[in-house]
Every structure is written in C-alpha cells, then in structure tokens.
Structure 1
Amino acid sequence: MEFRILGSVQVYDERADLRIVPTGAKQRALLGALVVKADQVVPADRLVDELWGEHPPANAANALQAHVARLRRLLPLPAPGSGEAHHEWLVTRPLGYVLRLDRTDTDARRFLRLAAEGRTLAAAEPGRASEVLRTALALWRGPALEGCGRGTICSAEASLLEESRLAALETLYDACLRAGRTGGVAGELEELTTAHPLRERFYELLMAAMYQGGRQAEALGVYDRARRRLLHDLGVEPGPALRGRMEAILHQQDPGAVLAPADRAAPAAPGRLEEEVGVLRAEVVRLRRQLERLALEHQDLLGRVERLTAREAASG
C-alpha cells in the first residue's frame, strides 16, 4: 500500500495492482489533507476550512462526517483469505480525525528520503547521486496534490514539495556536471530557465553546462539574458553566485573549477529544526510566487500602457 500525493491524490494497492482515486473534489481534498498530516490528529474545524473555505455548509460537522464515511469505504480492506488483520485507516478522535499509516508509506516521504540521499552523495559520488535523484524525481506524476483545491493544508504542502523538487533538480544537474554526464543537460536546463525565469541557480547551471561543452559565448549570453530578466521583472542585479559563475567563465577558468562547492544547500535537519526549516521554505516559496505574480502584473500594465499610448497616437 502507498498513499500518493506527487500528482493527483490516489492510493496504490500493490497486491491487486489497483489505483484508488477519489472522484470528487472534496474527497480529494480530504484525503490529501489527511495524507499530509498522516499519523496526526487533524481538527475537524481545520478539515472544514480545507474543504469549504469561507463558505461552509449550514451543518458543516455532519457534512464532514459524511465525507469521512465515504472515504472510509473507499480505502481498501485485507484481501479475503489473506490472513491479514483489518487495519482501520481513518480513525475518529475527540477533536478530529487521523489517518494511521502504520507501516504504509507515501510517495512524498520516499521522494524526500531519496532526495536527501542524493544530496549526501553529491560531493563524493556525483554519478551515484544523479541516479538516486532521477529515481526520486521519477516519482512525480504531476503537480503535488493536484486537484485538491486551495485549502491551507494542501496548498502549503504543495508549495513545500514543489520547492523540494526544484532543489532536487538543482542538485541533480550539478551532480551530472561533476560526473561528466552532460548529454542533454543543457537542453533540460534551458527548459527550466524558461519555466522558472527568476530562479538564478538554473541559469548558473546552464552556463556551466554550456561552458563545459565549449560554448563560452553562449554561456555568457545566458548571463546577459538572466540579468535582463531580473532587472526587468524585479529591478535587481544577479546575485553573487551567478556573477561569480560569469566571471569564472569570462576568465576561462578550468571547466571543473567553474562549478561551485557541491550541494550548497544544507541537508534537512531532524526534529524541531526540520519543522523550522519547513516554515522558512514555505515563506520563501510564498515570496517567490508573489514576486512572479507582481512581475506578470507589471508586464500586463506595461502592455496596457503601450496599447493606450498607441491608440491615443492613432486618434491624433
């Protein structure tokens, strides 16, 4: 059994090769929130907020109970004659509900374990690190918690997981370059700079990939493109890491020396520190998305001004 949230929410029963997918948006949001908070009691009022937001039904407690009952019927039971004891997945507590995983795993936990292993291997065994990280990233089937609505539990976790995915991609391509596995890397990084135009690390890695491939002029062109985008959208110059990469290429340093120290991100810490790091990452994600939204609004306003100016000029 595995609960999956790296994409649309589903339960995979390996014994029967069966994928159980909640059909309604409320059922998906409920299962997604419970998987995110697995083995923890989730207060009923938080689940009501997750499912209905600012517009709960008149009798929200009964409506939530009905959704919980429907979800219980959806979760698998032991196969007849298997001898397996019945496991109560979804348990009612005085304050709310808890999804008990017991020895069952989630794809998100597997991804985070593999990503942490890849980071640990990156400096000493980059080739092995790249294999582990590709295995981790292959677990993604789409945006995390896709179709679970915009409740705070699912949306915050989706942002954290997306940030972890991007960090794993950064470590992956850094490891590929260190291991000399450059085939296709530049093309993949080009796509990532297009998809995430304000994330400097992808530009930095793309410059290194091009430089290692003997494309110095193109690598410097990437820096110019990144600088123009950052200035246009955010009004800031590239950070010291990206500038350092440009200067190293400009002075034709050894291709290996162009790479920064492996895995500049610290590995996840256990316990309370891990929780604090998670909160900080969520805030970083929120601010980055806010900046991207403001940049899009800025572009839209510029376009409107240009159209109005052109219309005014045409009308004399």
Structure 2
Amino acid sequence: MTTGGPGQPVLFGMDFRLLGPFEARHRGRPVEVGSRRQERCLLGVLLLDTGRVVPTERLIDLLWNGRPPASARGAVQTYIGRLRGSLTPYGVRISTRGEGYLVEADGHRVDVDEFGDLVRAAGVAADPGERVRLLDRGLALWRGPLLADAADGELRDRLHGTVEELRLVAVELRAEAQLALGQHARAIAELMPLAARHPTREQLVAVLMTALYRGARQADALRLYRTTRQVLVDELGVEPGPRLREVHRRILRGDDRLDRPGRPVYEVRVRDESLPWSVGGHPALDFCNTFAGWGHEPPLPGAEWLRGYRTLAVWAGHVGLLDDVSVSRLLHLARRDPDQAEAVLVEARGLRQALYGCLTGPDDRRAFDAVARHAEAAAKELAFRPESDGRGRWWPELAAGLRMPLHAVAWSAAQLLADPRRLTLRTCPDERCGWLFLDESGLRRWCSLGTCGRSPDRPRCHSA
C-alpha cells in the first residue's frame, strides 16, 4: 500500500468510464471528479494515454479547440490541482513531467483500454463462439460516444478517433463470427442500422449482404449493393472494392460458399487461390499491404499471402492489372518453368519491399530508385490498347512472359507515385499492422482491418 502523503493511506482500484458520460467509481461507488466540464475532459485526455506524458500545449489546444485564451496555461494548472485533490485519496497520481502531465499506471481500470484489449483478443481467437463472447463483453462497455458529457464531436474525433473506428470493427467482427455460427438473423438486426449510418463502409456492407443472402433475402442483398455502389460513385467517385464486388458476384451466381458457416467472410477465393480483400483503394497499395502485418498467422488479413507465383498472377488479374487470357497463359508457363516463376516471385517481393519503403518514407531515395528501375523496365514491355468503353490503357505485352505481373505492378506503382492522391496516403497506426490506405477525406485514422492490433500483452500504439 502506498500513501497520498505522510502517514496517509490510499485505497486502490479506481474504475474510469469514458465510453459515454464520464464516470469515476471506487469499489462500485461513484466518485465526484471535476465540477467543470473542462476538468473532466482534461482527465479523460490523460486517461486515454495512461502512463504517457501529454504535453501541456496539446492539452490547451484540445480543451479550447485551437483557440485558447491568454489564461489557458494557468487554467490547466488549476484544473490539475483540483483533480489531484479529488483523486489522490483513491491512489490516482497525476504527475508533472517536464512540459506535461500524466496519470500514473497504478492498476486503475479504464474502459477504453479494456475495450481495445477485448477486441484485439477476439481478432486472434480461433473459435467463433469465443469471439462473440469477447466482443459482447467489449461492446457492452459502450454507454454512448466517448466522453459524451465532456467533449463535442470535433474534440471527440481529435481525442481518439480510433475508438469509434474500433467499435465499428468490433461490430463487424462479431457479425462475421455470428455468421460462422449460423446466426445470420442476429447479424442482420445489428448491422442494418449501422449500414444506414455508414453507407460507404464496404466491409460492413459485405458482411450484411452475406447475412441477407443466408437469410433467403437475395433481393435485399442485391438492392443494398446497388445503393452502396451509387453512394460510392456519387460521393467519392470510386467503384466498390474487390471484396464487395466478389460478394456481389457470388450472390448473383448463387455461390453455395456464401451459405457455408465457418468460412471467413473476408476471404476472397479466385481460381482456388485465397486472396486478401482490398483496403488500400489502389492496386499498388494492396500489393504493398501483403508486406505489412507480418505479426499475424494465416489466414488472417495482413498475413504473408504471396506464397507462390500462381498467387501473384491470380491476384494481378483479380485487381485488374492483367486480363483473364494473360493470367491463364501465365499459369501454364509457371507449370512449365517453375524455377523461372520462383525467380520472378522473389523479384516481386523485392519490389514490394522497396515500394512500401518509399511510400512510408518519402525521403528514402534508394527505395524510390529501386521502384523507378522496375517501372522503367516495365515501360519497355507495355502496349497501349483500347478498352470497350473507348478509352485507352497500357497493358503488359505477352512477350514479357512470366514477368508480366511484375511489370504490371511496377507500372501501377509508378502511376500511384505520380498521382496527387499519393499525398493522402496514410498508414494504420497499429505497430502490428502498418497497412496503407488512401484518405482523401482527411478523416480516417484506422485501416479498418478487424484483426489488426496488438495482443493483450503488447504495448499500446496510438495514432498521432
């Protein structure tokens, strides 16, 4: 037992609830903390980073939304003093460190941390029943928006935008587990209102479409796809990604694989190859994302799926870098010359690493030059051909043989590096993920992969 002062015993076990109105409890009883909204907000900011220093300047910027009064620094000091007075008897230590403050990690419970741990534990749980149990516990912690009575919407997003994102991921993960257990009706009931509020969230829509199909509501599933596609085109100027299109194709074909409980919803199978879904919004990014997330075991998204040349060729066709005729020819050539196919695969992995390096480190000239050499080699093997809609497009020549997918990816990488959208590129903040995605809205802070994140025994990784 420690003390709050000479000879003054302290009681441990504070329970802080930030997912909804701010609450502080000790042994189940409410503790009055912060008579002012800004005091509760300040404590909430510190608790989101328990054990880490939050600079005073950041506290001021957040509390006054970038428009602080001249007295802001003094007000923060006053708030800290009042909070210490309220919390010290319960063993909560707010320390001053340099130009900032931190709440010491002394075993107090913060619901945001518990929620994140449960979601990440569910993401690696093999049994769908266990995943549902963990996610039910996590989602039950939600009583409303983060710091509902202490922060407005703008501040809430700045404080911890990933919390709301992780809640949606948790709902999607739970729905996938429910589908694996044959509970499509429950999944439909939970996803329907969310799909209406988040019409551009393709992963959520894909799970809901699958649930509707399993519930003998094929027409509703197809109608949902049309609505989602229209919103994506009208609001973002993009077509649905490969995963959503794949679910749509399977529903149109009456593919019985969508009816099989136990198959991961996120799995995309083309020509008997298991491919990951797209989160990047560009083929070159999706190619890079096979390099990120190596902390996962197959078949989770983020795992190393580029296992063989056949997978590379099928993937290149699936994302539209090659046509079906070229893919069929490549599979034939790979069977005839497996050694050459393996050599091209090794080279493709090198390109992948270089591209990931220059996208995440714009000053990495060596990585950029490596990508440039591949792109220049590809340019010598391209032909400009008309499309069915009258537009022209560069395609790799069949004469390139087994190097066709390598050239296709290199050319796509060069187009991305020259595209202004390159400036909207973001990296998932989780240290075990690192997936790349385009964020033209400037609002996303997470890559939306349900399985990214740390295991409970790993240190936290917050977004900037």
Query: TM-score w.r.t. structure 1 length?
Result: 0.76
One of 162, 166, 176 as aligned partner of 1:160: 162
Residues 33, 87 of structure 2: 8 Å contact kept: no
Note if 1:10 corresponds to 2:23: yes
One of 256, 260, 265 as aligned partner of 1:259: 265
Note if 1:119 corresponds to 2:275: no
- Equivalent position SS for 2:101: strand
- Counterparts of 1:281 and 1:51, CA distance in 2: 30
String of CA shifts for 1:213-271, please: whole Å, max 9, x gaps: 1222221121112112212222221111111001111111111269333985559xxxx
Higher Cα Rg, which structure: 2
- Counterparts of 1:266 and 1:157, CA distance in 2: 27
- Equivalent position SS for 1:146: coil
Pairwise CA distance, 1:43: 2.2
Residues 148, 154 of structure 1: 8 Å contact kept: no
1:69-88 correspondence runs (5 A): 69-75=81-87, 77-78=89-90, 87-88=91-92
Change (3 A) 1:28 1:279: farther
Note if 1:68 corresponds to 2:80: yes
Pairwise CA distance, 1:284: 8.5
- Counterparts of 1:279 and 1:102, CA distance in 2: 33
Change (3 A) 1:21 1:63: closer
Note if 1:134 corresponds to 2:136: yes
Note if 1:99 corresponds to 2:103: yes
The residue type equivalent to 1:174 in the other structure is: E
String of CA shifts for 1:77-99, please: whole Å, max 9, x gaps: 25xxxxxxxx3521223322221
Q: What residue in structure 1 maps to residue 430 of structure 2? A: 274
Query: TM-score w.r.t. structure 2 length?
Result: 0.53
- Equivalent position SS for 2:129: helix
Q: Which runs of 5+ in 1 are unaligned?
A: 79-86, 290-316
Residues 145, 158 of structure 1: 8 Å contact kept: no
Pairwise CA distance, 1:178: 0.7
Residues 29, 154 of structure 1: 8 Å contact kept: no
- Counterparts of 1:212 and 1:258, CA distance in 2: 14
Higher relative contact order (CA 8 A, sep 6+): 1
Q: What residue in structure 1 maps to residue 54 of structure 2? A: 42
Q: What residue in structure 1 maps to residue 43 of structure 2? A: 31
Q: Which runs of 5+ in 2 are unaligned?
A: 1-13, 268-297, 304-427, 446-464
- Counterparts of 1:12 and 1:155, CA distance in 2: 25
- Equivalent position SS for 2:185: coil
Pairwise CA distance, 1:192: 1.0
- What is the aligned length? 274
Pairwise CA distance, 1:276: 8.2
The residue type equivalent to 2:20 in the other structure is: G
Change (3 A) 1:251 1:119: same
Residues 184, 212 of structure 2: 8 Å contact kept: no
Pairwise CA distance, 1:35: 0.7
CA RMSD of aligned residues (A): 3.1
Residues 36, 153 of structure 1: 8 Å contact kept: no
